[in-house]
């Protein structure tokens, strides 16, 4: 499809320029009612981390797009530029409890390369944390888009987000608008389960894959011993490192294949300017094929 034809279909924001950001609470233990024991054991007791770890220990700041841009064709220099700078998605981000003032170099070095840790006393996205995310995660990503040749100086991005207080603040929205070439689209209140791609499946799948990563880690007898606190029990730093690594792997798995586009389609985040593809929107209580508009 030519550039002009794409604009006629999609309008101002092409599919790869549309993103959703939302928060997903992360417990360290996804299932407090299960335990591990040797096959054939006569007696099984629940022996694991305290019940508080089944509650929210951190918040994931999940941001993704459903469609990736096409790589350049023909020009070797453009291809090399794209390969050097392009990132399919923004860096993964978790907001941990605390201030982050006494985090060891060893812990920081143990985080994945495509990961950013932010800190807030209650592990929530308050106003300063939202601005920190915009400057430490979103702004570098937009710069990488330009460096990769994906976006020109006049291109704008669209960020779908809910009505969280920190995402309504003028300073945060100004950072997005002026520094990140990003326009804000606040979804209707109390409808996020319908019209946010994260809520239409991605958040749930991330948690499922995160649980699978934890299960795989527990298959090692030494890890199981640490989990149960019998020998060299897990510290708070250990738990953060594990959660960061499990989470990044889970996000990568959840974004594989075509499902990421489907999350955008069914929620209406890939709405077209010419009305095509409206039948792909699947909102509860709305007949398929109804016409939609911004």
The per-residue pLDDT for range 190-241, each reduced to its tens digit, is 887 788 999 999 999 999 999 999 999 999 999 988 888 777 789 999 999 9
Residue 98's contacts (CB-CB under 8 Å, 6 or more residues apart) are 119, 121
Q: Is 66 helix (H, G, I), strand (E, B) or coil?
A: coil
Residue 147 forms part of a structural domain: yes
Report CA torsion sign: 162, 135, 205, 184.
Answer: positive
Q: What is the pLDDT of residues 37-94, one digit of tens each?
A: 555 555 444 444 444 444 468 999 999 999 999 999 888 999 999 999 999 999 999 9
Query: Could you read off the pLDDT of 16-33 as tens digits, one per residue?
Result: 999 999 999 998 765 444
User: Would the pLDDT of 14 be above 80?
Assistant: yes
Whole-angstrom distance, CA of residue 83 vs CA of residue 30: 37
Domain of residue 85 covers 14-27+53-72+79-253
- Structure tokens given for 164: 């969280």
Question: Is residue 261 in some structural domain?
Answer: no
* Burial of 238 from C-beta contacts in 10 A (0-12 / 13-18 / 19+): middle
* 8 A C-beta contact, residue 266 and residue 280: yes
Domain assignment present for residue 287? The answer is no
- List pLDDT tens digits, range 240-251: 999 999 999 999
* pLDDT on residue 142: 98
The tally of domains found in the chain comes to 1
User: Does 194 map to a domain?
Assistant: yes
How many whole angstroms separate alpha carbon 4 and alpha carbon 233?
60
Cα–Cα separations (whole angstroms), residue 241 to 190, 254, 262: 34, 20, 31
Alpha-carbon gap, residue 209 to 131, rounded angstroms: 29
Residue 230 lies in a domain: yes
Is the residue at 124 inside a domain?
Answer: yes
Q: Looking at 113-122, 133-142, 201-210, 221-230, which range is the least confident one?
A: 221-230
161 inside domain? yes
Please enumerate in sequence order all residues whose Cβ is within 8 A of that of 121, keeping only pairs 6 or more positions apart, or say none: 97, 98, 99
* DSSP structural state of residue 289: T
């Amino acid at each position: 499809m030519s550039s002009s034809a794409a604009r006629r279909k999609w309008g101002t924001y092409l599919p790869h320029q549309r993103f959703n950001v939302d928060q997903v609470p992360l417990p360290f233990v996804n299932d407090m009612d299960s335990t591990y024991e040797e096959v054939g054991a006569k007696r099984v007791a629940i022996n694991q981390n305290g019940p508080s770890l089944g509650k929210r220990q951190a918040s994931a700041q999940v941001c993704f797009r459903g469609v990736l841009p096409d790589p350049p064709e023909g020009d070797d220099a453009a291809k090399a530029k794209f390969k050097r700078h392009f990132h399919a998605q923004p860096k993964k981000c978790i907001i941990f409890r605390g201030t982050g003032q006494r985090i060891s170099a060893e812990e920081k070095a143990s985080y994945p390369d495509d990961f950013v840790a932010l800190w807030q006393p209650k592990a929530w996205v308050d106003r300063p944390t939202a601005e920190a995310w915009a400057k430490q995660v979103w702004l570098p990503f937009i710069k990488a888009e330009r460096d990769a040749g994906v976006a020109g100086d006049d291109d704008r991005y669209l960020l779908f987000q809910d009505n969280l207080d920190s995402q309504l603040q003028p300073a945060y929205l100004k950072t997005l608008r002026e520094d990140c070439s990003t326009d804000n689209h606040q979804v209707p209140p109390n409808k996020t389960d319908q019209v946010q791609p994260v809520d239409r499946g991605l958040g749930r799948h991330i948690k499922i894959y995160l649980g699978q990563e934890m299960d795989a880690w527990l298959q090692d007898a030494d890890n199981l011993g640490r989990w149960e606190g019998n020998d060299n029990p897990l510290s708070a730093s250990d738990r953060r490192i594990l959660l960061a690594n499990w989470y990044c792997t889970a996000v990568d798995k959840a974004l594989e294949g075509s499902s990421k586009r489907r999350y955008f389609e069914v929620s209406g985040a890939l709405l077209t300017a010419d009305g095509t593809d409206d039948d792909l929107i699947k909102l509860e209580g709305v007949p398929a094929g109804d016409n939609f508009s911004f």
